[in-house]
Structure 1
């Protein structure tokens, strides 16, 4: 097998092109009647808010015609005398059925901005009526050809053009005030209307909230408080969900006591486990630092410790318990936090505990969470638990959560449960030992788009279960709870022993799962991860696998100097590439949850110096007309994992090698925000794994390394044993008194 290669080189950057005047799509048109309707809707909305006499700026929802790209959202309308309406967005959701899904985006704007939009629509109506009451693509173009000095109409040319484009994509304005019923205590988010302190804001509205009921932008309200809020201010609530979650039960059969021997722990990497309490009677208890965070007044029975202890047993000593799943990663120590006994969990308490645990244990880089809710994820917002994990992974750039995909316990239950909807986490579903999708698997996607789960691993099934251990002996178990630890082990090995950052480690796992025969599957994610770690950090003799990492700090980050070998004027390779990054997220933005998009382009460099992407991705290119639906479905726009893959066929022929004989990659970065100063994002680190497969079965890795070195790349061949030796040497404790 060939070693994995690390390529280090210089990425070039380039800023975005300055946009021209707004245009209508071909065959698109806007009528004066539609402009008048929009104006009248704003007048009625203004009147509604004035009668309410609310102490905050009006909330206005824009109902778009379809799922709408950022570039097609209103900019001048509700833009406050500029084209900055995007910066007033406080929430987004989907409405309509699967065939007719469309965006509903809520803006919080001042009354003066509403007045400005009404006035601008008046002017645009007057101009549209001079052209027969219809502005189409051709008329728009004719008007834009009029020199600015000769423009005699009231709305300036640039404003008129933008308002017409705004009106084309916006179907109507409205007020959204419908709320679902919530049983018991509720976790609630309210629209950000500009308050600096949500507790003070609600107290001013007459709703007395104590400090322990607030966590970031989330509130924990009693049934009475929630009833008062939606009774008086229903339009303030952007999302609400019950605070109590039924946890998915684990299934296991006791196998009796089977004493096992284990050596004393050394300086092995530590994996954090957040689960039910740990049973100190387990044979591997020396390997586990147990911390119980359950209030002392709650009685903890031995059976309350079973789930967490079994999860820990697989992390510590999985290869001994299940030799046929020996991954080659060795043993790991565990720092185990008991947070939830029994079958019910308080979501708000979970969020507080997880934030505190991670903040106080910064030496832990990989966290395993094998608990999840029976309740299916919501259509239009991430669960509070999932959002907490995403926020932590955005704030700390060296941690990752590995989360179980939750088990199906009811026939009608299909979607995964919290916190498996965490976008940045590595979410794991289960398979049987034969590789079939486990019978209890639940499915994604999340927010009707994001691919969850990410991958799957063996978790056992009815006909063949997994062996795990608790304080009272072994058990035959099944569930995503027991698939996740095998992936947590691999993440810890890749990050803490091999020294990869989390972006590359996650990309290696997803890339290995996808392989050369990737098929989209809502229950398997990108596929089943190979059992052995060497299948992630090595490649076959006819393959070249290399990793790159960088920081996206401009609109474009690129390198066009990857010298893929050439034979008879052709590149005899198929290829695949996987990109991973951890974007900032904002639960208050609903379905527009991730703030930053990295778009991956990978392929040959033609004679004109242009990159010809493997998947024909032309987003951002000149004369590009990729729709938002195509960008999401074909190129995974806004997802934080991008995978470009080709299937291997024996009849394939080599690709033409252009004069450059180079391949390249380009990453385009965009954000949902117009003003970077007000956007929750900065420079974003990424990791990429590229695998090349020689069509004729030849091993050309030495030629590739030589050519890369000549092109200025620093090439490291990743020797697994060498990395292990370096880790062991670095972890040796030195006594300077000897």
Structure 2
């Protein structure tokens, strides 16, 4: 088998040189003055309402679009304030499904803005001026051809009105279906975590207007708060327009199946050696039983109030999870992954009956901030409740924020179907909707999706779970996973909770032993799970695929494959290299190719379905020179961000190229008829990443990791040729050898005693 190659070299950076053209309607479309009159009347009614309701010192206006809209097609002039872009006032984004003219349900964007009353008045004036021009010069209906003529006409020809203002208003009117004041529709009757829209008034002061008085400890991130049933009802009855999202606070663990064994425990001295310098994995779970044979490997801290009584059941789940991380292969030799043993720092944050999600949210941030040496965190707790279609859960949002801030990665169990639940295709529960986390579902030992697994997607778009691993299934002992939870012997269990820690082991090995970044480690696991035969998981139950059992199958490739990794940071719009020398045979490249890109963007829960703040668009393929300019011919024919004018709707960009997803996996299909690709004059391949910000809030460079695999069509091993060619092109090539990396890690962790 071939080692993975680590290529170190220079990525070029280039700002976006293209300038936006004049606003225009899509070909063959038009805007009528009647539609703009309707929009104007809607804004007048909204203005009248907020003119008499002064609770928020402004107005919340929901903009309903005709479909899913790209960033470039959102409001340009309507609701703009003091020359600022209307995007500055966005406070929430969601999807709704409504019938089109043919009665077919289609997905539409809804943006909620917080603006001043003067801004609404200004929008009404702009609409009325636009209506007047359309009726005076275009018989009440302006077409795309007419907007093109106006765009090409010198500005001084339009003395009655501003050309740019007019065109922007027309285009805004085309994409906007209606303006409205949206309100929460589900009455809240339980203790809940509620997120309100951010307005011009501080949260506690705003809530006091409705008779709700809370302390800072019940507020997260400024606008997310925990309310008891009476408080939630007060808010719902008096200001339902403020409620952006709400979830029940009390979440229960999805209890995993357990079968007890009568097997007697062995002498612990013979079972496990003393820990030395092994990597540490963090576990946030129920409590840990310190009577187990591997207790020396686990540093345990109970974070619950000491007055809370604990039973033996409160120690089972957490102990079982930590067992797999420390010594799982001993009880499950068929799952021996070659990763060795790991130490665990175990934080008990819950009992087996349930826990307050809000309380755990507060704990997790403090835990991670106080344990900066830990890079991999295992979270096998989950809610019985399903995720919501229009917003990320508070638990997942907090995990995403933590991972963006602290350079860590969470491995999260995909949650189980609760006992007695009869609903088919039950959606995953929080926090398995965390986008930056690696979310793991379970398969049985035959590799089939386990009967208890739940499904994605998240926000109707993002692939979750990411991957799957063996979690056991069936009713016999042979179909279960062996764990240790006390000093009375083994137990046999199954569940996504027990698939996740096996992935935590692999991630910790890649990060601590192999010395890889979290971006590359995550990309390697996804790439290995997907392989060459990955097809979109229509059921959203397995993700990209099942991760191979042994670590060598992840960090090595077959003899006919060249696998290499690249890391970098996006500092400008375009990050690229046109300097990858793929071997040429008979003027052609005899390779199939695939690539996986991973990055950890900042996320904003208040943006609803527009959750990820950064988009990285990957182009990978041969370098070709056209019109004296070098460009990449992508293996997936990705035409986004190309210089030539193409029509690509937002829905298609998301479906075909995973636009706004923080994982991009592109792959060619292996076919019986092998046709090598033509080698262009340079014989080089290139990698280009275009970075776009949704809200223009970029804070410094954003790291990314890319894993590329080239498969020789005729089974020939060409890795030596590739290495030599890379070195001649200025790349530093490092072969990731498992034995060498183990030696390096051992030396680095040695304690030096000064005499």
**Given the two structures, how large is their TM-score scaled by the length of structure 2?**
0.95
Q: What SS does the aligned partner of 1:483 have?
A: helix
Corresponding residue to 2:517 among 501, 525, 532: 501
How many residues were matched structurally? Answer: 730
Q: Does 1:279 align with 2:289?
A: yes
Matches of 1:611 and 1:36, distance apart in 2: 47
Asked if the contact 2:56/2:200 (under 8 Å) is kept, the reply is no
Asked if the contact 1:81/1:116 (under 8 Å) is kept, the reply is no
| Cα deviations by residue, 1:670-718 (Å, 9 ceiling, x for unpaired) | 1111xx3xx2644211000000000000011111111111111111111
How far residue 82 of structure 1 moved from its aligned partner, in angstroms, is 3.1
Name the structure 2 match of 1:70.
71
Name the structure 2 match of 1:488.
504
Matches of 1:369 and 1:85, distance apart in 2: 39
Matches of 1:517 and 1:334, distance apart in 2: 35
Matches of 1:53 and 1:533, distance apart in 2: 61
Name the structure 2 match of 1:249.
255
Unaligned runs of 5+ in 2: 99-103
Q: What SS does the aligned partner of 2:390 have?
A: coil
How far residue 624 of structure 1 moved from its aligned partner, in angstroms, is 2.3
Name the structure 2 match of 1:517.
533
Corresponding residue to 1:144 among 151, 174, 190: 151
How far residue 30 of structure 1 moved from its aligned partner, in angstroms, is 0.7
How far residue 83 of structure 1 moved from its aligned partner, in angstroms, is 6.0
Corresponding residue to 1:452 among 460, 464, 480: 464
Higher alpha-carbon deviation: 140-149 or 169-178: 140-149
Corresponding residue to 2:711 among 693, 703, 721: 693
How far residue 595 of structure 1 moved from its aligned partner, in angstroms, is 0.7
Asked if the contact 2:623/2:684 (under 8 Å) is kept, the reply is yes
Matches of 2:22 and 2:82, distance apart in 1: 17
Q: Does 1:211 align with 2:192?
A: no
Q: What SS does the aligned partner of 1:330 have?
A: coil
Asked if the contact 2:55/2:206 (under 8 Å) is kept, the reply is no
Corresponding residue to 2:632 among 611, 615, 630: 611
Name the structure 2 match of 1:31.
32
How far residue 205 of structure 1 moved from its aligned partner, in angstroms, is 5.3
Q: What SS does the aligned partner of 1:557 have?
A: strand
Higher alpha-carbon deviation: 685-694 or 587-596: 587-596
RMSD: 1.3
Asked if the contact 1:66/1:103 (under 8 Å) is kept, the reply is yes
Corresponding residue to 1:404 among 413, 416, 440: 413
Q: Does 1:733 align with 2:751?
A: yes
Matches of 1:27 and 1:586, distance apart in 2: 36
Matches of 1:570 and 1:151, distance apart in 2: 57
Matches of 1:190 and 1:708, distance apart in 2: 54
**Given the two structures, how large is their TM-score scaled by the length of structure 1?**
0.97
| Cα deviations by residue, 1:49-72 (Å, 9 ceiling, x for unpaired) | 012123422000000111111111
How far residue 153 of structure 1 moved from its aligned partner, in angstroms, is 2.4
Unaligned runs of 5+ in 1: none
Q: What SS does the aligned partner of 1:224 have?
A: helix
Matches of 2:203 and 2:84, distance apart in 1: 28
Higher alpha-carbon deviation: 60-69 or 177-186: 177-186
Corresponding residue to 2:550 among 513, 528, 532: 532
Q: What SS does the aligned partner of 1:579 have?
A: strand
Asked if the contact 1:558/1:667 (under 8 Å) is kept, the reply is yes
Asked if the contact 2:536/2:544 (under 8 Å) is kept, the reply is yes
Asked if the contact 1:179/1:230 (under 8 Å) is kept, the reply is no
Asked if the contact 1:563/1:708 (under 8 Å) is kept, the reply is yes
Matches of 1:181 and 1:305, distance apart in 2: 36
Q: What SS does the aligned partner of 1:559 have?
A: strand
Name the structure 2 match of 1:651.
673
How far residue 200 of structure 1 moved from its aligned partner, in angstroms, is 3.5
Matches of 1:578 and 1:343, distance apart in 2: 40
Asked if the contact 2:56/2:206 (under 8 Å) is kept, the reply is no
Asked if the contact 1:468/1:476 (under 8 Å) is kept, the reply is yes
Asked if the contact 2:210/2:238 (under 8 Å) is kept, the reply is no
Matches of 1:169 and 1:138, distance apart in 2: 17
Q: Does 1:666 align with 2:688?
A: yes
Matches within 5 A, 1:108-147: 108-129=114-135, 130-147=137-154
Asked if the contact 1:272/1:366 (under 8 Å) is kept, the reply is yes
Corresponding residue to 2:491 among 449, 466, 475: 475
Asked if the contact 2:61/2:181 (under 8 Å) is kept, the reply is yes
Name the structure 1 match of 2:237.
231
How far residue 305 of structure 1 moved from its aligned partner, in angstroms, is 0.6
Higher alpha-carbon deviation: 91-100 or 598-607: 91-100
How far residue 134 of structure 1 moved from its aligned partner, in angstroms, is 1.0
Higher alpha-carbon deviation: 53-62 or 423-432: 53-62
- In structure 2, relative to structure 1, the CA distance for the partners of 1:188 and 1:681 (3 Å cut) is farther
How far residue 405 of structure 1 moved from its aligned partner, in angstroms, is 0.3
Runs of 4+ in 1 over 3 A off after TM superposition: 203-206
Asked if the contact 2:472/2:480 (under 8 Å) is kept, the reply is yes
Q: What SS does the aligned partner of 1:37 have?
A: helix
Name the structure 2 match of 1:571.
589
Q: What SS does the aligned partner of 1:106 have?
A: strand
Matches of 2:208 and 2:29, distance apart in 1: 48
Corresponding residue to 1:186 among 186, 192, 211: 192
Name the structure 2 match of 1:46.
47
Asked if the contact 2:184/2:244 (under 8 Å) is kept, the reply is no
Q: What SS does the aligned partner of 2:532 have?
A: coil
Matches of 1:437 and 1:721, distance apart in 2: 34
Asked if the contact 1:183/1:242 (under 8 Å) is kept, the reply is no
Name the structure 2 match of 1:309.
319
Higher alpha-carbon deviation: 140-149 or 268-277: 140-149
Name the structure 1 match of 2:429.
417
Name the structure 2 match of 1:20.
21
Corresponding residue to 2:481 among 466, 471, 483: 466
Q: What SS does the aligned partner of 1:689 have?
A: strand
